[in-house]
Amino acid sequence: MKRTLIIAEAGVNHNGSYDLAEEMIDRAYEAGADIIKFQTIVPELCISQYAQKADYQKETTGQAGSQLEMVQKLALPFSAFDRLERKCNKLGIQFLSTPFDLESIKYLNNLNMPFWKIPSGEITNYPYLLAIAKTQKPVLMSTGMSTLEEIEQAVKVLTENGTNSLRLLHCNTEYPTPFEDVNLQAMKTLRERLGVEVGYSDHTKGIEVPIAAVAMGATVIEKHFTLDRNMEGPDHKASLEPDELKQMVDAIRHIEKAIGTSEKIVTESEWKNIAIARKSIVARKNIKAGELLTEDNITTKRPGSGINPMRWLEVLGTRAVRDFAEDELIEL
């Protein structure tokens, strides 16, 4: 199986602290993630003063204040991302950040990111999609809150205006996502309908669902993580802590190995167990040479190093070639 690309989504879980953002890079690297992803935003260009918080944001940050005020406290300046990219390069983990406005696209386009990550909320933002497409860089796009038709429209805008490489992430944008709303089968629909590689961006609690997504063919997994779920901020409660992120990464690498091929074979590791676990035709009791072999005096028992019981009818009715003690392997 192709190696799954694992994105540790730091998002804004640094709470606007550059030092915490750097520490998150260290923890993502130690967990074995391929990429750590941040969010780059000029709040005033992205959120109006009238935008309300989402219900989950009210639950995690309180009822007071607008969405704009909340994000203003969480956003890092452009200059921070230059430094974070250098930190990633030095450590050996890929840097990525999602832009949320046109100025952030212009800024991030000058950094050495392997592709754009488009969040679910921008899938109907034509000017945004157009700006991304015109850079002609590969795109990874989340599809939460979207109908199939909206996804197809966004893909059309991208591919008709410069995007030559595109992957989609199935996603549900409730934080945390109820398990009954995950619908991993939708990955198959996206793959077949749009003819692209498909991954999964997860907002459920725990690590089970992204692991299942890999088993179902996801080529990319994105998962929020935090240094501490008890920190203040909108996304911490639906995020993994560093040790859990490592557990997820390790489990995904195990699943990659376990998927294997469609060929059904006896593997090298299990050959040695055939003789131990299978049965052979043996003497049910003491048998004299020349005695007729019948169901009364032969049976099947371990080990499997003798005559295969599938030859039962071939053995019945023959005569013992010698004396056999009880449990001794029958010979013809």
In terms of domains, do 185 and 304 share one? no
C-alpha to C-alpha distance for 30 and 123, rounded to whole angstroms: 32
In terms of domains, do 255 and 274 share one? no
With bands split at pLDDT 50, 70 and 90, how would you rate the model's confidence at 63? confident
Q: The tokens of 253 are what?
A: 């690498």
Is the bond preceding 176 in cis, omega lying within 30 degrees of 0? yes
In terms of domains, do 9 and 95 share one? yes
Chosen domain end from 259, 280, 303: 259
Contact 118, 146 (CB under 8 A): no
Q: Among residues 101, 164, 153, 97, which one has the least CA distance to residue 123? A: 153
Helix (H) or strand (E) holding 221: strand 220-224
Which one-letter DSSP state was computed for residue 3? P
C-alpha to C-alpha distance for 224 and 327, rounded to whole angstroms: 60
Task: Summarize pLDDT for 293-322 with one digit per residue, the tens.
Answer: 999 999 999 999 999 999 999 999 999 999
In terms of domains, do 70 and 137 share one? yes
Contact 265, 250 (CB under 8 A): no
In terms of domains, do 59 and 123 share one? yes
Average pLDDT over residues 84-113: 98
C-alpha to C-alpha distance for 244 and 202, rounded to whole angstroms: 14
Task: Summarize pLDDT for 16-61 with one digit per residue, the tens.
Answer: 999 999 999 999 999 999 999 999 999 999 999 999 988 888 888 8
Q: Among residues 99, 101, 77, 78, which one has the least CA distance to residue 16? A: 77
Average pLDDT of the chain, as a whole number: 96
In terms of domains, do 139 and 173 share one? yes
Task: Summarize pLDDT for 4-13 with one digit per residue, the tens.
Answer: 999 999 999 9
Q: Which residues contact 110 (CB under 8 A, 6 or more apart)?
A: none
Q: Directed axis angle between helix 208-215 and helix 242-259, to 10°?
A: 20
Chosen domain end from 239, 259, 279: 259
Task: Summarize pLDDT for 166-194 with one digit per residue, the tens.
Answer: 999 999 999 999 999 999 999 999 999 99
C-alpha to C-alpha distance for 193 and 187, rounded to whole angstroms: 10
In terms of domains, do 255 and 272 share one? no
Q: Which residues contact 191 (CB under 8 A, 6 or more apart)?
A: 197, 198, 217
Q: The tokens of 31 are what?
A: 């967990």
Query: What is the pLDDT, as a whole number, of residue 61?
Result: 83
CATH of the domain at 211: 3.20.20.70
In terms of domains, do 104 and 244 share one? yes
Which pTM value belongs to this model?
0.90
Which one-letter DSSP state was computed for residue 292? B
Query: What is the pLDDT, as a whole number, of residue 54?
Result: 84
Q: Which residue has the tokens 């599938």?
A: 310
Residue 173 in 3-state DSSP?
coil
C-alpha to C-alpha distance for 54 and 63, rounded to whole angstroms: 10
Contact 199, 223 (CB under 8 A): no
In terms of domains, do 29 and 132 share one? yes
CATH of the domain at 277: 3.90.1210.10
Count, residues in the chain: 332
C-alpha to C-alpha distance for 65 and 270, rounded to whole angstroms: 62
Chosen domain end from 259, 282, 313: 259
Task: Summarize pLDDT for 133-142 with one digit per residue, the tens.
Answer: 999 999 999 9
In terms of domains, do 198 and 292 share one? no
Contact 18, 75 (CB under 8 A): no
Q: Among residues 273, 255, 323, which one has the least CA distance to residue 293? A: 323
Q: Which residue has the tokens 């920190």?
A: 231
C-alpha to C-alpha distance for 32 and 294, rounded to whole angstroms: 62
Q: The tokens of 202 are what?
A: 């997860």
Helix (H) or strand (E) holding 211: helix 208-215
Query: What is the pLDDT, as a whole number, of residue 128?
Result: 98
Number of domains in the chain: 2
Contact 4, 31 (CB under 8 A): no
Task: Summarize pLDDT for 264-281 with one digit per residue, the tens.
Answer: 999 999 999 999 999 999
Which one-letter DSSP state was computed for residue 49? T
Range(s) of the domain holding residue 309: 265-332
In terms of domains, do 241 and 177 share one? yes
In terms of domains, do 88 and 54 share one? yes
